[in-house]
Structure 1
């Protein structure tokens, strides 16, 4: 599936009263779902000694899907396509790699 196709379909499942609510709830939802991914990885180490089985992999995949859904809706609220987000990110990383600044701190390194 193409990113922009996903974004269109994800929008159809979103239930927000208005743009302000969409902005706030998408941002908070993204933070919450990202935390759930972090929890899954923490528990993978704590409870499973980092041995990943198919069932746990599926659980992580579902949480990553929730993260993607919120990124999609937040991007949509801001008038940005997921494809543009992906392209912009890769351009930034390519520049950092070329400049030898993949490691380090700061957004504009």
Structure 2
């Protein structure tokens, strides 16, 4: 797979994410910000490469 193929696949993923967010009335901005905060917290706690928080 080359970069242009990857870009097309990522575009499809973004479309699916946008459709799901719209369906559940979620702001993509809010989702992205919350994820950045979650990952920053994991980094600060030294568990960024771990199994996650709610699994």
Structure ID, larger Rg: 1
TM-score normalised over the length of structure 2: 0.86
Q: Which has the higher helix share?
A: 1
Q: CA RMSD in A?
A: 1.6
Structure 1 residue runs of 5 or longer lacking an equivalent are 1-43, 45-55
Residues matched between the structures, number: 55
TM-score normalised over the length of structure 1: 0.46
What are the superposed Cα offsets for residues 39-90 of structure 1, whole Å, 9 maximum, x if unpaired?
Answer: xxxxx4xxxxxxxxxxx21111011000000000101111111111110100
Choose between structure 1 and 2 for higher RCO, CA contacts under 8 A separated by at least 6 residues. Answer: 1
What are the superposed Cα offsets for residues 11-42 of structure 1, whole Å, 9 maximum, x if unpaired?
Answer: xxxxxxxxxxxxxxxxxxxxxxxxxxxxxxxx
Q: Please state whether the residue corresponding to 1:79 is helix, strand or coil.
A: coil
In the TM superposition, structure 1's runs of 4+ consecutive aligned residues that sit over 3 Å from their partners are: none
Distance in structure 1 (CA, Å) of the matches to 2:9 and 2:32: 20
